[in-house]
Chains A and B, each alone.
Chain A
Amino acid sequence: MRLTLKIWRQKSTHSEGYFESYKVEASENMSFLEMLDVLNERLISEKKEPIAFEHDCREGICGTCSMAINGRPHGPQTGTTVCQLHMRAYKDGETIVIEPFRAKAFPVIKDLVVDRSSFDRIIQSGGYISVNTGQATDGNSTPIEKGQASEAFDSATCIGCGACVAACPNGSAMLFTSAKINHLEKMPQGKVEHTRRVVNMINQMDKEGFGKCSNVGACHVECPKEIPLSNIAAMNRYYFSAVFTKE
C-alpha cells in the first residue's frame, strides 16, 4: 500500500517545528512502527536525518511509543499502543498526520520524542510504598479480597505512556496520577502513606504544570490500558479526606 505521511519535524525543544511530507510503501502486515522503520532506513540511505521516535518493547507494555496519529494518541484503535497498531487499519492512498504528544509538561525533545520525566517526578513524590514486603511467599500470605485486588490491578495496569495527557484538551495528568494513587491505596501495603501520598503526588502534578480535569473523558478513550475514569473521582475523595481530616 502507498501512503503519504505528514510528520512533525523539530530539531530541538526550542526550535520551531514544521510538517514534512513523505511517501512510503508499506505492507498491511507491518506494525505502524515498522512502517516508520522502513521510512527511516530509506532516509538514512539517502543521507537524510531519520525521524526520531520512541519505542522499546514493541508489545504494548512499556508505554514508550508515543505519538498522535491523525490527532489521536496511539492512533485510531481503542486499548492499544502505537506498536500494536498495524497498517491494515489504513487504506491504500491515505494521508496520515503524525505529531508528538502535545502538552506543556511534555516538551518536545526532537521530532516525535517528548520528555515525560514529569511523570517520573510525580512517581518519586509518592508513588511507592515504604514497608518491606519480603519475598514472593510473603506476598501470597497477605490476604487481599479478590474484588479489591482486581480493582487495584485495573489501576496498576497503567504503563505511564502519557496518552491521557496528550488526549486531554486541558493537558491534565489526573488519569495517570489517580491510577497510580489508587493502585497503592487499594493494597494493605500502601496504607502507610495513605495521607502523604495523595497530597504529595497532587502537589507535584500541579507543580509540573499539568492542567485541571474538566471531566471530559478523552483520557479514558485514548488510554491503551483503558484505565477507568472512576480513578479520578476516587483520587478526589482521598484528597479531600487527607486535606480536611488529617494533620
Chain B
Amino acid sequence: MSWIINFLKSSIGKKLVMSLTGLFLVTFLVVHLIGNLQLLMPDDGKAFNIYADFMSNNPIIKIISLGLYAGILLHAIQGMLIAFENRKAKGKKYAVTSFENGNWMSKNMALLGTLLFFFLAIHMGDFWVKMRFLDVLNMVSYPELDYEVKNVYERVNLAFENVWIVIVYLIGLLSLALHLIHGFKSAFVTLGLEHKKYSPLINAIGIVYSITIPLAYAAIPLYMFFSHQSHY
C-alpha cells in the first residue's frame, strides 16, 4: 500500500486529489441548482419544501452528503496546503510584475477558494444549521402529505429580504464563477485530458458552465429580493 501513500504525497498525486474533488463539486453544483430552482416556482414553496424534506430524510442522500462534506474539506485543505507549498517554492517575488504571464484567476485560485470557503460557512450556517439543528423553522402541511414538513422556503425567503445577505451571496457566486473559469479546464489538464481535438470543447463547456451556473444561482436571491421590494 505504500505506493498509494507515495503517490498521494507526490506533486501530481496532490493535484489529482484537487482535480477529482473539484470535478465532484462541479457535478454537485448542478444537482443542487436543479433542486434550488424550485424556490422560484409560484407555489409558495410547496415543491421546494417537499423536496427539502426528502433530501434531509432519505438515507442514500445522507450518505452522499457525507461524501460531499468530506469532498469540500479535502478540496479546501489540500488546496490551501498546495498554495502554501507553492508560495514557499516561489520564494522571493519579482520587484516588477508582468501581467503577461497567466490570467488573474489562475494565479488567485487560493484567494478565490478562501472567499468561497467563507461563503460556504455563512451559507451552511444560515440554512443548513438552522434547518437541521435549531428549531427555528415553522412546520407546514400539504394535502398530498400525511405529515408536516419544515417550511424551509419561508426561511430562505426571509433571508433574501435582507440586502446584505443578497450581497454576500452575489460575492460568493462571483468568486465561484472566477474560480471555475480557470478551475474547470485546469481539472481536465491535471487528469491528463488535453488534446488539440477535444480541449477546445472542454474549454468552451467550462466557460459556459462557469457563467451560467453561478448566474442561475444568483437568480434565486435576486428574484426573491426584488419580489419583496415590489410588495411594498
Contacts and interface: CB of A to CB of B under 8 A. Distances in A.
A236 B190 contact: yes
A232 B86 CA distance: 17
Nearest to A168: B90
Chain B contact patch, size range: 35 or more
B11 A103 contact: no
A72 to B, nearest CB: 5
Contact of B90 (A71, A72, A170): A170
A213 to B, nearest CB: 7
Interface stretch (A22-30, A136-144, A185-193, A204-212): A204-212
A6 B96 CA distance: 11
A53 B77 CA distance: 41
Nearest to A19: B95
A71 B96 contact: yes
Given A167-B101, A169-B107, A217-B102, A99 B95 contact: yes
Q: Taking each of B109, B189, B196, which has the highest tally of chain A beta carbons within 10 Å of its own beta carbon?
A: B189
Nearest to A221: B101
A239 interface: yes
B16 to A, nearest CB: 8
A104 interface: yes
A218 interface: yes
B35 to A, nearest CB: 31
Contacts of B100: 72, 221
A203 B92 CA distance: 24
B101 A103 contact: no
A21 to B, nearest CB: 13
A131 interface: no
Contacts of B59: none
Contact of A99 (B10, B12, B13, B94): B94
B194 A211 contact: no
A33 interface: no
Interface in B185-223: 185-186, 189-196
Q: Taking each of B15, B101, B182, which has the highest tally of chain A beta carbons within 10 Å of its own beta carbon?
A: B101
Contacts of B36: none
B12 A171 contact: no
Given A102-B94, A167-B101, A214-B109, A202 B12 contact: yes
A90 interface: no
Given A215-B186, A221-B101, A236-B191, A172 B86 contact: yes
Contacts of A221: 100-102
A124 interface: no
A227 interface: no
Given A70-B96, A99-B95, A236-B191, A216 B101 contact: yes
B86 A214 contact: yes
Nearest to B92: A102
A99 B95 CA distance: 8
Given A233-B192, A236-B192, A237-B192, A216 B107 contact: yes
Interface in A146-173: 167-172
A243 interface: yes
Given A103-B91, A214-B106, A214-B186, A206 B192 contact: no
A234 B85 contact: no
Contact of B11 (A6, A99, A213, A229): A213
Contact of A104 (B7, B13, B82, B89): B89
Contacts of A243: 3, 7, 13
Contacts of B103: 216
Interface in A83-109: 97, 99, 102-105
Nearest to A219: B101
A171 B10 contact: no
B88 interface: yes
A174 B189 CA distance: 13
A213 B15 contact: yes
B93 interface: yes
Interface of A: 6, 19, 68, 70-72, 97, 99, 102-105, 167-172, 174, 202-203, 205-206, 209-218, 221-222, 229-230, 232-237, 239-240, 243
Interface of B: 3, 7, 10-16, 82, 85-86, 88-98, 100-103, 106-107, 109, 182, 185-186, 189-196
15 contacts: A70-B98, A72-B98, A102-B91, A103-B90, A174-B11, A203-B10, A211-B90, A212-B82, A213-B11, A217-B101, A218-B101, A218-B102, A234-B194, A236-B15, A243-B7
